[in-house]
Amino acid sequence: MNPAQPDIAVRAPEMLRAFGVRKTFLLHPQGGVQIPALDGVDLSIRSSECIALVGPSGAGKSTLLRCLYGNYLANAGRIEIRHDDDTGSGPRWMDLTNAPARDVLAVRRTTLGYVSQFLRVIPRVPTLTIVAEPLMRTGVPEGQARERAGALLARLNIPARLWTLPPATFSGGEQQRINIARGLIAAPPVLLLDEPTASLDGENRAVVCALIAQAREAGSAIVGIFHDEATRDAVATRTVALQPVSLGSHEAH
């Protein structure tokens, strides 16, 4: 585990925090059975930190990431992110659990990035465009964004001959590297990673670890799930452990 630098831990601003987050899934086809996934999770992360979520299968790690991103709406609790809405007043805390959809989309455009396990993009769009697009959304000119996308793809060992092709027919490892490039290119202040190296060989895993460490050192606050201990030790400054929620403890609430 990389030790967090004490001076950074003291001086760096808090970027994302969660208070008492609960999430339950309602299974309508099974008579409305409720399956608890998260029960009172608290979390806080500062700029230049990387938190690794750890715990057994079923502990709710991916569910928590999706709640932090807003793909899942928490049933209880609060999730806040420090976001600059370009009004001139500077960064302020926004409650993502109660924010209008337009505000959540604005946060995702400039403040909050997410790399899922699988690449989901519009079919037939060239790889270079897919990777450059998040940077262009922030106002970077197209030519500059595409140049940066090409450099990132090259570093991730995606051959230039593939950049004009859509990634649908690429291998799983290639698609995952494109997904990582797309997630990292705009250097979001807060970055969520869901097993970003699960399909990669040792060489490409090392490249991704270096890119994640570089993003953290540049100031990103990162929360991630890492499928192997070596990757976790290479990128994380600390861990947060989750445990599966028992039905009894959930009903006690």
User: What is the reported pLDDT for 118?
Assistant: 77
Structure tokens at 33: 């059975």
Computed on alpha carbons and rounded to an integer, the radius of gyration of the chain in Å comes to 18
Q: Is 120 left (phi over 0), alpha (psi -120 to 50) or beta?
A: beta
Q: What structural domains and CATH numbers belong to the chain?
A: 14-241 (3.40.50.300)
For residue 210, the surrounding DSSP H or E stretch is helix 202-217
In whole angstroms, give the CA distance from residue 178 to residue 157. 10
Contact 127, 156 (CB under 8 A): no
Helix, strand, or coil (residue 202): helix
CA distance 70 to 105: 10
For the chain (length 253 residues), average pLDDT per consecutive 10?
51 93 82 85 97 94 95 94 84 92 92 86 87 93 97 96 91 90 94 92 94 96 93 95 76 48
- Our measurement of the distance from residue 113's CA atom to the centroid of its chain's CA atoms, rounded to an integer in Å, reads 5
Q: Write down the pLDDT at residue 223.
A: 98
The amino acid sitting at 243 is: Q
Contact 173, 118 (CB under 8 A): no
Query: Three-state DSSP class for 83?
Result: strand
Per-residue confidence (pLDDT) for residue 2, from 0 to 100: 54
- Number of H-type helices and E-type strands within the chain: 9, 9
Tell me, what's the pLDDT at 3?
Answer: 47
pLDDT of residue 6: 47
Residue 45: name the closest of 23, 12, 78 by CA: 12
What's the pLDDT score for residue 33? Answer: 81
Question: Residue 28: what pLDDT?
Answer: 66
Q: Give the three-state DSSP class for 136.
A: helix
Residues 6+ apart with CB under 8 A from 230: none
Identify whether the C-beta of residue 82 lies closer than 8 Å to the C-beta of residue 93: yes
The backbone torsions φ and ψ at residue 27, rounded to the nearest 5 degrees and listed phi first, read -95, 90
